[in-house]
Structure 1
Amino acid sequence: MLTTNYKNLPIYDYRGKPLKLTYEITYKMTLKDGYILALRPGQHITNVPNLLKLQRRRA
Structure 2
Amino acid sequence: MPRFIPLNYQQNSMVVINYLDQLQAGTFEYAIHHLIDSKLDLSVFYPKKLLYQATHNNLTK
- TM-score, normalised on structure 1? 0.23
Which structure has more RCO (C-alpha within 8 Å, separation ≥ 6)?
A: 1
Richer in helix (by share)? 2
- TM-score normalised by structure 2 residue count: 0.22
Q: Which has the higher strand share?
A: 1
Which of structures 1 and 2 has the bigger CA Rg?
2
